[in-house]
Amino acid sequence: MTQYETVIGLEVHLELKTNSKIFCSSSTSFGGKPNTHVCPVCLGLPGVLPVVNKKVVEDAILVALALNCRIAEFSKFDRKNYYYPDMPKNYQISQYDLPIALDGRLEIELDGKLKKIGITRLHMEEDTGKLVHQGTITTTPFSLVDYNRAGVPLLEIVSEPDLRSPEEARIYLEKLKSVIQYTGVSDCRMEEGSLRCDANVSVRQLGKEEFGTKAEIKNMNSFRSLQKALTYEVSRQIEVLEEGGRIVQETRTWDEGQGITLPLRSKEQAHDYRYFPEPDLVPMIIEREWVESVRNRLPELPDARRERYVRNYSLPDYDAGVLTSTKEMADYFEACLDAYPSPKTVSNWIMGDLSRLLNANNLEINDCPVSPVNLASLFKILDEGTISGKIAKVVFEEMFATGKDAGTIVKEKRLVQISDEGSLSAIVEEVIAGNPKSVSDYRSGKDKALGFLVGQVMKATKGKANPELVNKLFKEKILD
Amino acid sequence: MSLYYLTAHELHDLLLKKEISAVEVNEAVFNRIESVEDGVKAYLTLTRDQAMRTAQSVDDMINAGRPIPPLAGIPVAIKDNICTEGVRTTAASKIIYNFIPPYDATVVKKLAGQHIAMTGKTNLDEFAMGSSTENSGFFATHNPWNRDCVPGGSSGGSAAAVAAGEAICAIGSDTGGSIRQPAAFCGVVGIKPTYGAVSRYGLIAFASSLDQIGPFTRDVTDCALMLNAICGHDPLDATSSTYEVQDFRRCLVNDIKGLKIGVPREYMSEGIDAEVRQVIEKTMSLLEMNGARIEETSLPHLGYSLPVYYLIAPAEASSNLARYDGVRYGFRSEGAQDVVDMFMKTRSQGFGAEVKRRIMLGTYVLSAGYYDAYYLKALKVRTLIKEDFNKAFEKFDILLSPTTPSPAFRFGEKTGDPLKMYLSDVFTIAVNLAGIPGLSIPCGFVNGLPVGLQLMGRPFSEGKLLQAAYTFEQNTDHHKKHPEL
């Protein structure tokens, strides 16, 4: 059987979270009543003119720098012409042949190895409005248009066809999301549409240099559906070729319900966008000093932060990778360290119980009810011996549920560890008296039996007994 | 002399002397409109109540002893492709026959700040595409000097209103001659300022890289006053210049001694009427008598202006006019099957023939496979034309030509042949392509119809053009003549 190689390139659209839109002062906030975040400019009324929001250009430069792009010295906007009712002007102001940034790269990790994925270009454009249908687009008797989103700034980031599998594509997108979140210019929420992704997919016989005919896949609304759609598309294309067919250059849409891609339009039906320079805007000359001042705004990016964690905190590379995967997670980690400078302990808790509870409750680290200072307070009373490690887990769950600090919970629930030898001695003796079999087992060398006996004390004290002390008491009383 | 034929500065003096009131001025103009408008048809919408209210407030200011700006209470007409908040703005197109803008164009705001009294919205060729106002989606405007003739276009309504005493001044827009050509045809002063001198915010776009707003007035002094009111940077228009605006009244000096004037030979040869040539030659001798030094020069690429213009302007128009689709405002065709059908029916029924012709032309030249050959090539030739002007201005202070090759033509004379119609702008178009200022001033008559002299200068040399025009005006009396209506 012929071996095939997959070739994928991604086009990512990113909504910037500037306060105002790209060409007017209307608000960009998500979720307002339809057609309330609009003005004559973003509605494209007769006579209006766009004016570039400087913050958008600055954010574009910031992201471009984070992706190691070359920032153009001369850049301009163009009009992309096509008719669609969600576009107020029936053209989109975008960038065509002179984008703001070119030639970048993003490093991704595949099975422990680093791979550079080229970024062809990054450009700015305006978002469209949204159509609201009754039922589906084909059966609705009419459609309503909401222009709140029209004019929200977008960055389009186009990768080179360097991705060799659907999994690679997903990892690239995840990494891209992480880097962009670090820059703080976008929420990158695929579900809300602030991060959108189209893919160009083709396959070729292994060893061949020439690219196969590609299909463009749209409508993938999560990382999972990206990988699923691409996996489906790759196998579809291979199947077509294996059956002696030819791949048609076309745009296909991912049908999540059916789990297949469906043809949307052929190359012949593709729009002729009639790009031409936007005459209402003057070209931009991007001064190097400006670029450098934006560069100074660039935060430490995930790769650098990860390295620092390994180097300075002696964390395992894997842990450092998890902790730095989002800026919020890493910031949380470091805030904990400020209050409790023991990286390994903090890291274990964050990656363990904290992550488990966040996932179970569908929460992001930013919404975590346990503040870094509170988490540190837990570690402190643990160190002081006020509670046992086992009780700490109980306290933590309570902290997560109520947002209270560890000390308060320990007090309220009377969870203070019993380290008083006198009172524990009595309980230990009761357990020895009630479990002769285990006692003799332990005496004859079966260490396991000790565990059982300690467990009985824990049961009797509702877990509050100091385990080290209980161990010591059993050893003294049985073996001596 | 009737109040409606006075100039703004004359009226201002009378207002200050309290010999007349602003209400009387506006009443005179609206009475004039009532008596002659049926024969001229300059207006699409009249805003009498609004004008009278403004006039009253200006009178109140005067009576309270407060200072008033030079144009306060002056009746000014606005071309109907310039947005006026709460007042219907149609661009003379059926496709937005009912559009009431929720905002004012920047020029309108600026004029309101001067307390002008807006008389109404004037007729034009639909979306400013035309040279005779015959392409209006509603009706044609007549030339006050001869009602069988066109007033020119596209700002025909504004030019005719000023010429007929239906407004003291007016605002128009000029993409390829749409102020200067009707100014010439109607015997008034019109200027297309430097591209970027006046904000385009609120001007319904035809061709964004060429459009510019400018005034129509009865004399050069009023032209200076209007420019003072409307020029200046606007943060809402990214193409508006930050060039510092001077007080143009300072340029009203009767002196052109040593002024170097170039006359491009290309302008004096191509299909120009013999009588028009005579008028221009007479004008040139008068300027020389007053001390100007006139020499022939050449703009070698001038001949390409028309083809270049008819590639660039329709290309931009095809995109600018895409928004008129029946979805959000304006006309929507009934009974469409689906959204594409709605677009097609709305646009087929809503636009007139000339607009459709230009949209098709523009769509074609921007299409894949044709862009380089047409649009890109046109941009390159546009640069050559600009360079021709730059070179000429190394030697000359201003350039001179007839505004049009012939005076106003008759209705229907050119409607059957678009190319013939386009040729009536042959002398004005290059100025828009080069982005430089161009002024048209009455310089004589042929068969009872006015002839216009066009003066062109370097970017932002409006002051120099005003000074030359003022000097010419002080030594002639063409501007004192009025049509009989």
Q: How far is CA A356 from the centre of its chain?
A: 17
| Number of neighbours of residue B73 by Cβ within 10 angstroms | 31
Phi, psi of A136 (to 5 degrees): -105, 165
Whole-angstrom distance, CA of residue B142 vs CA of residue B146: 8
Helix locations, A12-53, DSSP H: none
A34: closest CA of chain B, how far (Å)? 14
pLDDT at A443: 84
What is the SS3 assignment for A119? Answer: strand
Contact B331, B96 (CB under 8 A): yes
Residue A420 CB neighbours (<10 A): 11
- Can you give the pLDDT at residue B463? 97
Per-residue pLDDT, A410: 78
Judged by CB atoms closer than 8 Å, whether chains meet at A45 and B102 is answered as: yes
CA distance A300 to chain B (A): 35
Write out chain A residues lying below 8 Å of B323, CB-based: 44, 46, 88-90
Amino acid at A446: K
> How does DSSP assign B391-448, residue by residue?
HHHHH-SEEEEESSSSSPPBTTTTTT-HHHHHHTTTTTHHHHHHT--EEEEEEEEETT
Q: Tell me which of B21, B154, B173, B199 is the catalytic residue.
A: B154
Residues from chain A contacting residue B103 (CB–CB below 8 Å): 40, 45, 48
Give the per-residue pLDDT at A95.
98
> Which residue's entry shows tokens 């305006």?
A126
Residues of B in contact with A89 (CB under 8 A): 322-323
Phi-psi sector, A207: left (phi>0), alpha (psi -120 to 50), beta: left
Residues of B in contact with A51 (CB under 8 A): 235-238
Q: How far apart are CA A372 and CA A335, in angstroms?
A: 6
The tens-digit pLDDT sequence of chain B (485 residues) is 699 999 999 999 999 999 999 999 999 999 999 999 999 999 999 999 999 999 999 999 999 999 999 999 999 999 999 999 999 999 999 999 999 999 999 999 999 999 999 999 999 999 999 999 999 999 999 999 999 999 999 999 999 999 999 999 999 999 999 999 999 999 999 999 999 999 999 999 999 999 999 999 999 999 999 999 999 999 999 999 999 999 999 999 999 999 999 999 998 876 889 999 999 999 999 999 999 999 999 999 999 999 999 999 999 999 999 999 999 999 999 989 989 999 999 999 999 999 999 999 999 999 988 999 999 999 999 999 999 999 999 999 999 999 999 999 999 998 888 888 888 888 999 999 999 999 999 999 999 999 999 999 999 999 999 999 999 999 999 999 999 98
d(CA B362, CA B317): 7
CB contact under 8 A, A281 and B322: no
Question: Which chain B residues touch A if contact means CB-CB below 8 Å?
Answer: 81-83, 89, 91, 96, 99, 101-103, 105, 200-205, 207-209, 235-239, 315-316, 318-319, 322-323, 325, 327-329, 339-340, 343, 363, 366-368, 371, 375
The one catalytic residue among B21, B41, B79, B155 = B79
pLDDT tens-digit readout, A207-243: 999 999 999 999 898 999 999 999 999 999 999 999 9
**Mutation for A interface: B212, B320, B351, most A CBs within 10 A:** B320
CB-CB under 8 Å, A40 with B102: yes
Using only C-alpha atoms, chain A has a radius of gyration, in whole angstroms, of: 30
Radius of gyration for the alpha carbons in chain B, expressed in angstroms and rounded: 21
Chain B residues near residue A35 by CB distance under 8 angstroms:
none
Quote the pLDDT of residue A167. Answer: 96
Are B102 and A280 a contacting pair at CB < 8 A? no
- Confidence (pTM): 0.90
H-run or E-run covering B141 = none
| B209 closest CB neighbour out of A49, A145, A279 | A279
A303: its two tokens: 């790769």
Output the CA angle B85-B88-B91, nearest 5 degrees: 110
Query: Mean per-residue pLDDT for A190-216?
Result: 93
| Average pLDDT of the residues in A60-85 | 97
pLDDT score of A416 more than 80 = no
* Distance from C-alpha of B142 to C-alpha of B327, rounded to nearest angstrom: 35
Interface touch B96/A46, C-beta < 8 Å: yes
Instruction: Answer whether residue A316 shows pLDDT above 70.
Output: yes
Quick one: average pLDDT of A373-391? 83
8 A C-beta contact, residue A169 and residue A199: yes
Taken in order B266, B269, B271, B277, the sign of the CA dihedral is positive
For residues B56 and B293, give the distance between their C-alpha atoms in angstroms, rounded to a whole number. Answer: 49
Helix (H) or strand (E) holding B93: none
Question: What value does the mean pLDDT of chain A take?
Answer: 91
pLDDT given at position B320: 98
Peptide bond into A26 cis (omega under 30): no
Asked if the Cβ–Cβ distance from A46 to B99 is below 8 Å, we say: yes
Chain A residue with minimum CA distance to B318:
A81
Q: Is the pLDDT of residue A45 over 70?
A: yes
Going by their DSSP bridges, the two strands B398-402 and B260-264 should be labelled as parallel
Band (pLDDT 50/70/90 cuts) for residue A399 is: confident
At B1 the pLDDT is 65
A225 touches chain B (CB under 8 A): no
CA distance A399 to chain B (A): 53
Q: What angle do CA B238, B240, B242 make, to 5 degrees?
A: 110
CB contact under 8 A, B323 and A40: no
What residues of chain A lie within 8 A of the CB of B101, using their CB?
40, 45-47
E-strand stretches of A194-332: 195-205, 215-220, 250-255, 260-266, 276-277, 284-285
Contacts of A187 (CB under 8 A, 6+ apart): A15, A17, A181, A194, A195
A168 and A108 Cβ atoms separated by less than 8 Å: yes
Contact B91 A79 (CB under 8 A): no
Beta A91-94 vs A101-110: how paired, if at all? unpaired
What is the Cα–Cα distance from A248 to A272, expressed in whole angstroms?
Answer: 19
**Mean pLDDT computed over A5-28:** 96
Taking only the tens place, the pLDDT of each residue in A128-183 is: 999 988 877 777 788 899 999 999 999 999 999 999 999 999 999 999 999 999 99
Confidence of residue A426 (pLDDT cuts 50, 70, 90): confident
Alpha helices in B164-213 (DSSP H): 180-186
Across the interface, do A46 and B204 touch by the CB < 8 Å criterion?
Answer: yes
Q: Indicate the SS3 state at residue A212.
A: coil
pLDDT tier for residue A186 given thresholds of 50, 70 and 90: very high
Q: Which residues in chain A touch residue B80, judged by CB atoms under 8 angstroms apart?
A: none
Strands A153-159 and A113-126: antiparallel
User: At a CB cut-off of 8 Å and minimum separation 6, what does A81 contact?
Assistant: A90, A91, A273, A274, A275, B318, B319, B322, B366
Q: Which helix (H) or strand (E) holds A260?
A: strand A260-266
Active site residue B178: yes
Chain A residues near residue B85 by CB distance under 8 angstroms: none
Verify whether residue B199 is a known catalytic residue. no
Site from B171, B327, B359 to mutate, A interface, most A CB atoms within 10 angstroms: B327
Q: Does A352 touch chain B (CB under 8 A)?
A: no
CA distance A220 to B64: 70
* Distance of residue A126 Cα from the nearest chain B Cα, in angstroms: 16
Q: What is the pLDDT of residue A236?
A: 96
Tell me, what's the pLDDT at A401?
87
Is B79 a known active-site residue?
yes
- Indicate the residue of B96, B238, B363 with minimum beta-carbon distance to A280: B238
ipTM for the predicted complex comes to 0.96
Estimate to the nearest angstrom the gap between the alpha carbon of B182 and the chain centroid. Answer: 7
CB of B451 within 8 A of CB of B276?
yes
- Residues of chain A with C-beta less than 8 angstroms from the C-beta of B203: 47
